[in-house]
Amino acid sequence: MADFSTIQRLYDTGQVGYCILGLGRKGQARKHFSEWKQRRGVQTWMVTNYVWSCPRWGRSSREHIRTTCQDAFAQLHHDHSAKYLAHVLAESEAILGNPQGFLEISNKYRVLFDGSLKKGEYFEDQKYLLREIPRIAEFLAQGRTKRFALAAQSLRLRQIPFLVLSGINLP
Write out pLDDT tens, residues 133-167.
Answer: 999 999 999 999 999 999 999 998 887 765 554 44
Q: Work out the pLDDT band at 7, boundaries 50, 70, 90.
A: very low
Which stretches within the chain are classed as H helix? Answer: 4-22, 26-33, 44-53, 59-75, 82-95, 99-108, 128-141, 145-157, 160-166
Write out pLDDT tens, residues 41-96.
Answer: 888 888 888 888 888 888 999 999 999 999 999 999 888 899 999 999 999 999 99
pTM of the model: 0.81
- CA dist., res. 103 & res. 108, Å (int): 8
Q: Work out the pLDDT band at 26, boundaries 50, 70, 90.
A: confident
**CB 87, CB 130: distance < 8 Å:** yes
> Residue 12 has what pLDDT?
61
**Is pLDDT of 117 > 50?**
yes
> Residue 169 has what pLDDT?
45
**Is pLDDT of 13 > 80?**
no
> Residue 39 has what pLDDT?
79
DSSP letters, 125-169, are GGTHHHHHHHHHHHHHHTT-HHHHHHHHHHHHHTTHHHHHHHT--
**Domains of the chain by range and CATH?**
4-166 (1.25.40)
**Is pLDDT of 128 > 70?**
yes
**CB 7, CB 46: distance < 8 Å:** no
- CA dist., res. 30 & res. 53, Å (int): 5
The average pLDDT across 4-18 equals 56
